[in-house]
């Protein structure tokens, strides 16, 4: 009898076939064809001069020598988990460029960062005012939605392309890298010139086609955990982006749906500790969507930093009650400033710098065929 929920749907970890440095396109295709003839799907990954064929179908029932005897295969590696790239990933993700128009922010492996901004970009004046206020409060990047995933189709859906342009201008004026959500593949190309990091919202964590397309981009991705996702599902969604070639992924815990009704969601801080033990990827916490109520944002921000988060993503507005979306959770720039000071103080007081930090790994682009 299976008592562990996770084993009811168990799929074996992927198998990786290394074709070595001198392989040809012809031998790669031959290996892929032989796998297909045996009912096995695969994906070809080229990184530098190394070519790998990742067997994505369940290969448990096939004898090991079948793979090692395939022509052109030099080495067979059987992985022990289904998120190998997430497990051995970038520890530091840079958003923007030092000499770029909006400056640069490094996330992971040091001082916690605070990213802040409105839920939605409401107008040009609004995003300029908010960007200046959050920058003065100590935020190091500005967030804001131009494409908004609203529960009701009758609610404000965002300013779209205009909102992105306003954000980029505000980011340039106040030297803040810009983060904004894309909900569909078509949004990626329109957002690309104006953002320094793409956000995947909770509702799209399972949108695998979107994740794969973001994996083909050169800008980093902030991946938020879906309200119903397990930690492993979040990691597997990250794996989609990583396996498509984009190694710059930052995870974000933003609360999950539980029986509790006093808060909008329940902030799962255990996820931060668990993710930190399973992956090098930086982990941020969004205490705004986690609580849905501004009165709790500061307390949970403190807890998030204390438990090892690499930073916070917070909704802030100069007139919180006037926010066109998520007004109840928006905090003033003054409260934001206190949170920025709290974060630095907690980081220092707990000597978080001295904790075992993952080795900073490089983020060479991987090319997918």
Q: Closest distance between ligand PEP and the C-beta of residue 145, in Å?
A: 5
- The radius of gyration of the chain from alpha carbons, rounded to an integer in Å, stands at 22
Which lies closer to ligand PEP via its Cβ, residue 53 or residue 119? 119
- Choice between 64 and 149, CB closer to ligand PEP: 149
Q: How far is the CB of 202 from ligand PEP (least distance, A)?
A: 4
Whole-angstrom distance, CA of residue 174 vs CA of residue 142: 10
> Which residues of this chain interact with ligand PEP, rule CB under 6 A?
119, 145, 149, 181, 201-203, 224, 254, 286, 289
127 exposed, middle or buried (CB, 10 Å; 0-12, 13-18, 19+)?
buried
CB 90 → ligand PEP: shortest distance, Å?
22
Q: Which does residue 39 touch among ligand PEP, Mn ion, none (CB within 5 to 8 A, set by kind)?
A: none
- 157/48 Cα distance (integer angstroms): 42
How far, in Å, CA of 214 to CA of 297, rounded? 30
303: closest CA among 341, 267, 329? 267
What is the contact mask toward Mn ion in residues 283 to 322, using x (rule: CB under 5 A)?
----------------------------------------
**Which of 119, 352 has the CB closer to ligand PEP?**
119
What is the rounded CA–CA span in Å between residue 159 and residue 172? 19
Phi/psi for 188 (5° steps) reads -65, -50
The answer to whether the CB of 332 falls within 8 A of the CB of 10 is no
Angle at 213 between CA 165 and CA 81, to 5 degrees: 130
Query: Minimum distance between the CB of residue 128 and Mn ion, rounded to whole angstroms?
Result: 19
Cα separation, 146 vs 121, whole angstroms: 6
Provide the mask over 106-135, with x wherever binding to Mn ion is found by CB under 5 A and - wherever it is not: -------------x----------------
Q: Is the dihedral of CA 126, 129, 135, 136 positive or negative?
A: negative
Residue 149 binds which one of Mn ion, ligand PEP, none, with CB within 5 to 8 A depending on kind?
Answer: ligand PEP
Would you say 102 or 317 has its CB closer to Mn ion?
A: 317
Q: Which does 254 bind (CB under 5 to 8 A by kind): Mn ion, ligand PEP, none?
A: ligand PEP
Q: What is the C-alpha to C-alpha distance for residues 290 and 21, in angstroms, rounded to an integer? A: 47
- In angstroms, the first-to-last Cα distance of the chain is 42
Whichever of 135 and 289 has its CB closer to ligand PEP, that residue is 289
In the bound complex, what is the minimum distance in angstroms from residue 115's beta carbon to ligand PEP? 10
**Closer to Mn ion at the Cβ: 59 or 119?**
119
Within 10 A of 29 (CB to CB), how many other CB atoms are there?
A: 13
Residue 64 interacts with, from Mn ion, ligand PEP, none (CB under 5-8 Å by kind):
none
Q: Closest distance between Mn ion and the C-beta of residue 131, in Å? A: 17
Residue 202 near which of ligand PEP, Mn ion, none (CB within 5-8 Å, type-dependent):
ligand PEP
Residue 262's CB: how many other CB atoms inside 10 A?
Answer: 9
Measured from the CB atom, is 169 or 253 closer to ligand PEP? 253
Residue nearest to ligand PEP (CB): 201
Q: Which is nearer to Mn ion, 231 or 314 (CB)?
A: 314
Binding site for Mn ion (CB under 5 A): 119, 326
């Amino acid at each position: 009898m299976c008592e562990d929920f996770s084993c009811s749907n168990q799929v074996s970890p992927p198998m990786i076939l290394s074709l070595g440095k001198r392989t040809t396109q012809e031998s790669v295709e031959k290996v892929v064809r032989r796998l297909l003839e045996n009912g096995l799907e695969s994906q070809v990954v080229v990184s530098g001069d190394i070519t790998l064929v990742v067997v994505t179908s369940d290969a448990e029932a096939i004898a090991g020598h079948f793979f090692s005897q395939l022509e052109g295969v030099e080495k067979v590696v059987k992985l022990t988990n289904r998120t190998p790239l997430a497990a051995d990933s970038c520890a530091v993700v840079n958003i923007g460029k030092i000499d770029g128009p909006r400056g640069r922010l490094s996330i992971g492996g040091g001082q916690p960062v605070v990213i802040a901004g409105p839920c939605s970009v409401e107008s040009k004046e609004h995003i300029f005012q908010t960007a200046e206020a959050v920058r003065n409060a100590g935020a190091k990047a500005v967030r804001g939605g131009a494409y908004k995933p609203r529960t009701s189709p009758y609610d404000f859906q965002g300013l779209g392309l205009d909102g992105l342009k306003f954000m980029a201008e505000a980011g340039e004026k106040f030297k803040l890298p810009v983060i904004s959500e894309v909900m569909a593949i078509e949004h990626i190309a329109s957002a690309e010139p104006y953002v320094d990091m793409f956000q995947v919202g909770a509702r799209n964590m399972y949108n695998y086609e979107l994740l794969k397309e973001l994996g083909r981009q050169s800008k980093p991705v902030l991946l938020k955990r879906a309200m119903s996702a397990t930690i492993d599902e979040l990691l597997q969604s990250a794996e989609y982006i990583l396996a498509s070639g984009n190694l710059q992924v930052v995870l974000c815990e933003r609360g999950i749906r539980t029986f509790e009704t006093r808060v909008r969601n329940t902030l799962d801080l255990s996820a931060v500790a668990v993710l930190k033990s399973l992956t090098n990827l930086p982990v941020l916490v969004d205490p705004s969507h986690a609580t849905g109520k501004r009165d709790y944002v500061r307390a949970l921000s403190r807890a998030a930093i204390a438990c090892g988060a690499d930073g916070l993503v917070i909704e802030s507005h100069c007139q919180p009650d006037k926010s066109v979306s998520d007004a109840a959770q928006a905090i003033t720039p003054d409260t934001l400033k206190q949170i920025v000071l709290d974060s630095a103080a907690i980081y220092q007081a707990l000597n978080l710098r001295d904790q075992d930090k993952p080795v900073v790994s490089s983020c060479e682009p991987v090319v997918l065929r």
